[in-house]
Every structure is written in C-alpha cells, then in structure tokens.
Structure 1
C-alpha cells in the first residue's frame, strides 16, 4: 500500500509541481490549496505525512502542525518555509515537526526529506507513541489531582523542560559561583567552549537570573543564517530595501529591546556585518537595512563561540575590537572529558528528565553502561551524552534498566562521532576540491543526510556543507549543458 502524503500549499504552481513529482515517485498524494479543507480531509482519511507551507491565509502552517501533533501524533509533518522564516521553522521542529525545507528547493531535495521520513519509519512512530502516552498520563494525573481537590503543580510543570547546568567539578562550581554577579550586570558576556558543552544553557541562566528576566530573550544562531540575510535578521529592514522586502520588519535587536540577545556562534558572522554590530555595542543604536532612521536600543548581549578566537582574529575573520568589546566577562566551559566525575550525575539527571517527559517509571543504568559512559571520548560533549541517554530511555520503554545495547545498537553506529576516523579512509588521489566533496558525501552517508552531524564530524559548519553541495550541483548542471 502506498504511503499517503497530504500537501498543503496556497501557491498553485508549487502545489501542482509537488503533487505531480511525488505521485511519479510512488506516493499517494492529496493536494489542497485550502488548509481548512486539508484539515477536514485529515479528519476523515488516514494520512502518513503532511507537507505544509508556513504562511497561508486561512490557517498557518503552525496551526496545522499543532493540530496534527495533538490529534494524530503518529502522522509526520514537514514544513516548507521561505528564508525569512528560518527561525520560525526551527521553533516548529521543537514543537514536533519532523523536518523543514527552505524555498526555493529542487525536486530531489524535497524527495530526499520525504524518503528519509518514511525510512525512519518505526523509530519515528515509536517516539510518537511514547510522547502520546506521556501526554495521556499527564492528563490523567491532572484529572486525578482535580478530582481530589489538590492544587496543580503548574510551576513545577513549567520548569520540567528547563535546562540546568549540572556538575560538581571545581570548574563548574566556579562558574556557578560567579553566575549571580555576571547576571546582575548589563555588560556583554563572551562564552567559549566546544560544541555541546553547554554554552547556550549557561547563557540562558544568565538571562534567567538577571533583572531583565521578564523581558524578551532573543536567540540567534549565527551559523545557520544565510549570508545575505544576516544584517536584516539582526537589524531589520525597510520596505523595498531588497527583493522580497515587501514591508518593514523589525530585527533581533529591536525585538530584544530592554531584554537580552544571544548571538550563538558569533564568529560565523560575516566580517562586514561585524562593524555594525560593534556600533550597537558602543553606541546602543543602529539603522535598519535600507533605512535612514537611527533606532536606539537597550540590549544585553551574550555571545558564544566554539572556535579558537585568537586564530579566527589572526585569519582576518573576526574583528579584534569587537572581541574586546564583547569580552568583558570571558567564560570558558570545559569539555566533558575534563570533568568525567560529573558523568554519573549528568546521566542521572537526563534519565530523570526523559522518564518524566515520557511518563515512564523510574529507570536505572547498568554498571556496564555506566563504565562505558565514563570512559568514552565524548567528542560531542554533554549534548552527545544527553542524546544517548534520551535514546536509551526510549528504547528501554518496557525495562527498568537501561543497558549498553539500548544506546549502542549497530543501527545507530553510523551517526556517532567515532566514525570520523572512517570518513578519512579509502580516498583515492584527487584534487583538493574533489576530495572535500567526497569527504562531505561520505560523512552524509554516515549521518543519513543529517548535515549538522556531518559538519561536526568534519569540523566545519553545516553552511559550508550546503555551499559545497550547491556549487557541485551547479557545476554538474553546467557540464551537462
């Protein structure tokens, strides 16, 4: 039986293109310009995957996503968005979307995302079942509490999803000791550390403990911003400033006025934009792209970087004056391998987090697994440890003990960072450009198309991967012509 894909897109030409292309590739497609009609169809037919636009008149893609994830949790959702909605789409992923793709895209790109969804199959549906079960248990617990006349633990429930900085290591204790003093200041903070060490978690704590905690907290991942939209994203633009600027738009600094802005991986910002960023820090003012009006702002800036900043400055990719302006409070987060004694504490924390999230009974970690975790290299640091424990909780649903087999099954080996050594093997002599492309392709094979994981393995940004693949595709098309 063919998998059924429901397409919701108010652009008639794109809708027809998707309908025809997916049908030709073996899918049972149902296409709707009206999201309301699409919603009615979902209520009366089995649908495996919903492919929806973000901006539509009758209903937004977010509303479609919320309805599907709440009512039909085993149905996947892939969202299509313009470049201007990247941040919006990332939030959608956090709300349950399986994937998103930016417009414009080629037929093979959307087909790859859809094929990947169906290839994920059982693992995706198992996760959705657990999430649905957890939601059901939480609702039952709330109902029981109301029946007994007890007060609901609403504050505690809100805090369950919050990130905490866990550790008894002396380096971590020092960071937590100085946190209140840093938080109460309005000075910029520069947080350095490898990917996955908890830079963003520490930044969140600074905002939460500051006198700006009730104001906006705007997070910008500089590594994921398209180069041509960095300035507009940060400072906004006026109508007509560039093609596609159909109205005035606030930037991140305006949105964060009186609050805090997190510039994650700030060293990825183009050197030409850094001068304007320096002005904001010095003068507390800026202009929108294409605008003449000077806008004043009061924003606390927290920046993070996983790069060696001294090298980045020496290479001419980061302004030294901007670095010193940001570096009032220099914070360095140690890698997990330098605080291995914290691993059991972190493991216990993550096990509790995900058993609570999925409404499961308490679990323990086997001695064999704990020994494995304590001796692992942890290239991905705390984030990698959290992902493994998350995996173990899901796969040990019916067990009281999480074992090594639950997190180290062969089917997962391709996405673990240990494959980095394999990626470099068995390459014939070739040009540097071709070798780069081969390395990228091999890394993507290991990560099943996950560009972020492939970028970690290769020590580059996922933006670099996208640019290399785009150039290779363009060169290939030129040769065919």
Structure 2
C-alpha cells in the first residue's frame, strides 16, 4: 500500500502543484480546498500525513492540527504558511506538528519534508526530537576536501552537540529546522561560553548549503586595519603591503554560509559595508570599483547587550534590524541548571572516549557541587572542568570534587582574586571599577582578555572604561 498524503490548501494552483509533485514521487494523494471536507474524509479513510495550510477561511491550520492530533494520533501533520513567524512555528511544533514549512517552497523541499516523516518512526514521531539527522540525499556530498594550508577561514563545523532539556533549549531545537532551511540572516546573542557558535554550526549543518563553504570570522580578533580586507578582499596596490590580489571571506563563502562571531566588535564604518552586502547581495574589494555578487547566508553572534551598543553608537541600528530576522538568545547555564547533569555526562563520555579510557561516573558530591555552582564561563567553563576531571582521575572509575577543584589550580584563581580586591580604599563605584581594571591588567601584564576573565566582564567593557577615564582626564 502506498503512503497516503492528504492535502488541505485553498490556493487551487498550489494544490494542483502539490498533487502532481507528490504523485510523481510515489505517494497516494487526496486533495481538498476546504478543511471541513478534509475532516469529513478522515472519518472514513486512513491518512499517513496531513499537509495543511495555516490560514484558511473555514478552519485554521491550527484547528486542523488539533483535530488530527486528538482523533488520529498516528497521523503526521506538516503545516504550510505564507505568514510564518518563529513564535507560531514553535507553538505548532509544541502542539504536535511534525514539521513547518514557509511558502514559497521548491518541489524538492516539500518532498524532502514528507520523505523525512516516513523515514522516521512515524508511529511515535511526536516523542522524537524534531530535529532529525539529514538523510544522505539531502546532505549531498559533505566530503568537501579543503587543504588546511590553503583553506583560509573555510572550516568544517565541529561535532559538538547542543545538549539540554530546559524549556528554552527545547524551543531552540524545535525551531532549528525552519531556521536552517531558510536563507535569512540570523543574530545569535548570549554570554560567552553559552554555545552560540555551536548553534550556528547546527544551522549550517542542517541547511541545504551544508555541502558548500562554511567560513568563520572571529571579529574580535581582527586587527582594525585588516577588517575590511579580511571580509571583502583587496586588489594589488590598494594599500601599503597589498602586493597581490586577495580573496576575502565573502568570496570564499559564496554559495555557502559565513559566521561573523562577535559582530559587535567590527568598526562601525565597516558595518555600513556589511549592510550593503545584506541589502544588495554584492560588495567591492578594497581598492576596486567592480561589484562582486554575493550569495552568502550570514550568521552573526554577540555576547554584548545590543541595545547598549546601539545607544553608545558602536553598532548600527539598521544593521541590527537587517540581521535580526531570526533573533536567537542562548540562555546562560545558571538559568538552565536542569541541563547540567546532562552536560556533565556528555562531556565525561566524550573525553573518556577521546583518551581511550574506561567509562567513568561522577560522584554525587561533585554533581551537587556542579549543579549549584555559578558558572560565569557557562557551558565552556563546565566543559573545561570536566575535561580536567577526566584527565586527573586517571585510572579511577569515579570523578570526584578533588579532581575538578584541584588545589593546584584553584589556588591560582584565589590568589588573583585576593590581589585584585585587596587594599582598595573607599571611593566612588566608578573609580573602584577603574582601580579593579588597573589591578587586573597589572596582573595579566596588560592582557585585556585575561583581565576581563578575572573580572567577569568583556574586554570591550575594559576598553570602554579606560577610554572614558582618559576622556575625563583630558577634560
């Protein structure tokens, strides 16, 4: 028996297109312009999947979804809409929809969605993770061979996973397929170490660009004078030292994805050129008037408060809104403590396998300590602690608190804290902040990133505080 797909769509032309396409792909198709007629049909006929529009006159797609889930729990529901938004998609998936697709879509896309349902355990699909591994056909050839010496910033996404059962994490994972299959820009915000880059990697891995270049640029580490050249390239003679033409990140990423990590660190003048790329899909190499077309999906991350950056005139408001099609916020670890045991076990298994060790477990005392700890460095800090514990526990089968909070390492942090906080006289909060920054910089020999870690702030904050203090001294 062929798998039966029932379609509810009040656009007659789209309905005919879907019937023809799915029929050619081997499905038995029943089609209805009226959702009420579809409901009547389901009373006496079995359907494996219902493909329904969201906005219809007689009944909404949400009502069709609710009816099918209540009366035919083994039948999958895929929703189609021209008015999709991230909130509605999340709610639809939470209510039991198997998938959610935004019009217009290509024939192969809707076929892929239906195929994926049947490839899954469709009897129990509602209890499965909504994000499924891509099939081999959909992945295409991922064996992109890139010589490490010549690859520039082209990277292969890491195998790190986004682990969690917290409500916000579940929502992110449920909406990931729709975000991934779009070409719209994505802005991912969150504190350092929360997993912004990991989520960005997942977007690329699950997109139809997964077999194309994935270029990552760490904007915070770019020298100011090389930012424009790094992003857009330059021609020979464009500036001193430009001895030959150079291809920039956007050219390398053509047809694929570019990740602009910590985008708020880019100079505001360069931000105007980024805006042009997003608006016009073209750019110029430094020193050239020739426009180069750009087919690049842009993902951006930031650990800053964007509103503050805009207020301080350090980030363009128009660029923010252009990037903010999919605004993603990754919660800090302290707001998802229920995920800590999951993460701990994941990292323990990962590093024991990496070092060829026997399986290890975490002591109850250590787990309680980890759950109650305030994680300034978030998931990255937790991972580093577990990595340390796996190594120091050597041949033991249990990792204890002593392995994680080893006195040898804890003493360093304690001494730094004492040095920074000691002997400060009474003064204004603003002056105290500056003194703390100076002490931390003295301890780190001027390394602003290390000083920022000690103080639990960003190195951008340190630069801004110093800049403000210098301005006050001039006045």
TM-score category, normalised to shorter length: 0.5 to 0.7
Report the CA distance between 1:398 and its aligned residue. 2.2
In the alignment, the residues of structure 1 paired with residue 297 and residue 272 of structure 2 have an alpha-carbon distance, to the nearest angstrom, of 18
1:353 maps to 350
2:78 maps to none
- Taking structure 2 as the reference length, the TM-score comes to 0.61
Call closer, same or farther: CA 1:417–1:462 in 2, change over 3 Å: farther
**Which residues of 2 match residues 34-433 of structure 1 at below 5 A?**
162-413=159-410, 423-427=420-424
Call closer, same or farther: CA 1:467–1:289 in 2, change over 3 Å: farther
Superposed CA deviations along residues 290-327 of structure 1, whole A, max 9, x for unmatched, are: 11111111000011111111111111111110000000
Report the CA distance between 1:466 and its aligned residue. 9.1
Call closer, same or farther: CA 1:431–1:379 in 2, change over 3 Å: closer
1:452 aligned to 433, 449, 473, which one? 449
Report the CA distance between 1:458 and its aligned residue. 3.4
Report the CA distance between 1:441 and its aligned residue. 6.0
Call closer, same or farther: CA 1:270–1:340 in 2, change over 3 Å: same
Call closer, same or farther: CA 1:295–1:414 in 2, change over 3 Å: farther
Call closer, same or farther: CA 1:293–1:433 in 2, change over 3 Å: farther
- What CA RMSD, in Å, does the superposition of the two structures yield over aligned residues? 3.5
2:35 maps to none
Call closer, same or farther: CA 1:439–1:396 in 2, change over 3 Å: same
Native 8 Å contact 2:260 2:298 kept in 1? yes
Call closer, same or farther: CA 1:417–1:355 in 2, change over 3 Å: farther
Report the CA distance between 1:283 and its aligned residue. 0.2
- Richer in helix (by share): 1
Call closer, same or farther: CA 1:255–1:317 in 2, change over 3 Å: same
Native 8 Å contact 1:337 1:381 kept in 2? yes
Call closer, same or farther: CA 1:387–1:181 in 2, change over 3 Å: same
Q: How many residues align?
A: 320
Native 8 Å contact 2:180 2:203 kept in 1? yes
Call closer, same or farther: CA 1:164–1:415 in 2, change over 3 Å: farther
Report the CA distance between 1:174 and its aligned residue. 0.5
Matched position secondary structure for 1:174: helix
In the alignment, the residues of structure 1 paired with residue 406 and residue 447 of structure 2 have an alpha-carbon distance, to the nearest angstrom, of 19
Report the CA distance between 1:361 and its aligned residue. 1.1
Matched position secondary structure for 2:187: strand
Report the CA distance between 1:467 and its aligned residue. 11
Matched position secondary structure for 1:286: strand
Native 8 Å contact 2:256 2:295 kept in 1? yes
Native 8 Å contact 1:420 1:457 kept in 2? yes
Call closer, same or farther: CA 1:320–1:467 in 2, change over 3 Å: closer
Call closer, same or farther: CA 1:452–1:361 in 2, change over 3 Å: farther
Report the CA distance between 1:411 and its aligned residue. 2.2
In the alignment, the residues of structure 2 paired with residue 347 and residue 236 of structure 1 have an alpha-carbon distance, to the nearest angstrom, of 42
In the alignment, the residues of structure 1 paired with residue 363 and residue 275 of structure 2 have an alpha-carbon distance, to the nearest angstrom, of 51
Q: Which runs of 5+ in 1 are unaligned?
A: 1-61, 64-84, 92-157, 470-481
Native 8 Å contact 2:256 2:297 kept in 1? yes
In the alignment, the residues of structure 2 paired with residue 246 and residue 372 of structure 1 have an alpha-carbon distance, to the nearest angstrom, of 56
Report the CA distance between 1:416 and its aligned residue. 5.1
Native 8 Å contact 2:363 2:399 kept in 1? yes
Call closer, same or farther: CA 1:322–1:424 in 2, change over 3 Å: farther
Call closer, same or farther: CA 1:435–1:228 in 2, change over 3 Å: farther
Native 8 Å contact 2:376 2:456 kept in 1? no
In the alignment, the residues of structure 1 paired with residue 264 and residue 182 of structure 2 have an alpha-carbon distance, to the nearest angstrom, of 23
**Which residues of 2 match residues 8-47 of structure 1 at below 5 A?**
none
**Based on CA coordinates, which of the two structures has the bigger radius of gyration?**
2
Call closer, same or farther: CA 1:274–1:386 in 2, change over 3 Å: same
Higher mean C-alpha deviation, range 236-245 or range 325-334: 236-245
Report the CA distance between 1:405 and its aligned residue. 0.9
Native 8 Å contact 2:282 2:294 kept in 1? yes
Q: Which runs of 5+ in 2 are unaligned?
A: 1-147, 467-475
Native 8 Å contact 1:415 1:453 kept in 2? no
Report the CA distance between 1:224 and its aligned residue. 0.9
Native 8 Å contact 1:417 1:457 kept in 2? no
In the alignment, the residues of structure 2 paired with residue 239 and residue 460 of structure 1 have an alpha-carbon distance, to the nearest angstrom, of 40
Higher mean C-alpha deviation, range 458-467 or range 179-188: 458-467
